[in-house]
Amino acid sequence: MDYIRLKDIIVYGYYGVAGPEQQVGQRLLMDLDLAVDLSEAAASDHLADTVSYEEVYVAAQQLAGGARCQLLEHLAAAVIEGLLHRFPRVERVTVSLRKMNLPFPNTCREVEVVLERGREA
């Protein structure tokens, strides 16, 4: 399988259970892996034969930026569903969301949630 990967996309929204997370908001880092057959694009060298990573980036920002949700799992699922709906060539999507500012005393650099989903048969 071929992949298009977008790494370290910064999104800002209201993610978390704690009150300040919902009031002030925070940045997350998002990675996207899109499984897609790229053989036609590799042969033709035409943008029309692939998935535009610029369009994927814009869609991901629209789906995750400014969102309000308690769980990263919920946000990741919404991003996957939106990308699969908007890009019919994409067969599977993996979303990684990393939260750097945790609302409790800790020594973690970040917490990461990873979801992978494909099209229903």
Task: Please identify every residue annotated as catalytic.
Answer: 99
Mutual orientation of helices 72-86 and 53-64 as an angle, nearest 10°? 140
Q: Which of 62, 65, 40 is nearest to 51 (CA)?
A: 40
Distance CA 79, CA 114 (A): 12
